[in-house]
Amino acid sequence: MNLTPEQLAAAQKANLETLNGITNQALVSIEKLVELNMHIAKASLSDSMNNVKKALEIKDVQQLLAHQAETVQPMAEKMMAYSRHLYELANDTQAGFSKTTEKEMQASQKKMNAMVEDWSKNAPAGSEAAVAAMKQAIASASTIYENSQKAMKQALDVAQTNLSNATESVLKATEKATKSSKR
C-alpha cells in the first residue's frame, strides 16, 4: 500500500495540530503553576511581615510560646493547601493529556483498521491468516491501551485518597500540637 503525497501532508497536518494542542495544554498548566506560586509568594511575604511585627512585641517566654503556636497551624494548613493545588493541577494536566492521547489512539485505530480492510481486499488469495493476525494485533494493542488507562486512573484515585488522608492527619496532628502548646 502506497501513501499519496496528499495523505502524507494530511497526516503531518494532523500531527502538527495534535502537537499544538498538547503544547497549549502544557503552557496553560505552567501558567497556572506560576500563578499559584506567585500567590503563595505574596501571601508568605505578608504572613512573614505580620509574624515579625508580632515577634517584636513579645515580652516574655509565655508570649513567645503562644506566638509560635499561633503560627504553626496556619502554616501547616497553607502547606497542605498548596500540596492539594499542585496535585489538582498535575491531575488536570494529566487528564487533558490522556484525553488527547485517547482521541489520537482512536483515530489511529480507525485508520489502521481501514488500512487493513483495504489491504485485505487487495491481498492475494491465501493471505487470510496474515489479515486475521493483523486484525488480532490491532485489537490486542487497543485492549492493552484501555487496560493501562484504567490502571492509571485507579492509581490516580489511590493517590488522591492517600493525599486526602495525609492532609487530614497532618492537620489533626498540627491542631493537637497547637492546643498542647497553648496549655
Give pLDDT, residue 127. 79
Give pLDDT, residue 31. 96
The Cα angle at residue 101 between residues 8 and 142, in degrees rounded to 5? 90
Which helix (H) or strand (E) element contains residue 175?
A: helix 128-182
Backbone dihedral angles phi then psi of residue 57, each to the nearest 5 degrees: -90, -5
**What cell does 57 get?**
512585641
d(CA 18, CA 100): 8
What distance, in Å, lies between the first and last C-alpha atoms of the chain? Answer: 82
Which tens digit of pLDDT belongs to each residue from 13-72? 888 898 898 999 999 999 999 999 999 999 999 999 998 998 899 898 888 888 888 888
Eight-class DSSP state of 126: T
152 has pLDDT over 70: yes
Eight-class DSSP state of 124: P
User: Cα torsion for 122, 126, 130, 132, to the nearest 10°?
Assistant: 90
d(CA 86, CA 80): 10
Q: Would you say the pTM of this structure is higher than 0.85? A: no
**Residues of 77-104 as b/e, b for ≥16 C-beta within 10 angstroms?**
eeebebeebebebeeebeebeeeeeeee
Which tens digit of pLDDT belongs to each residue from 154-172? 887 787 788 777 777 777 7
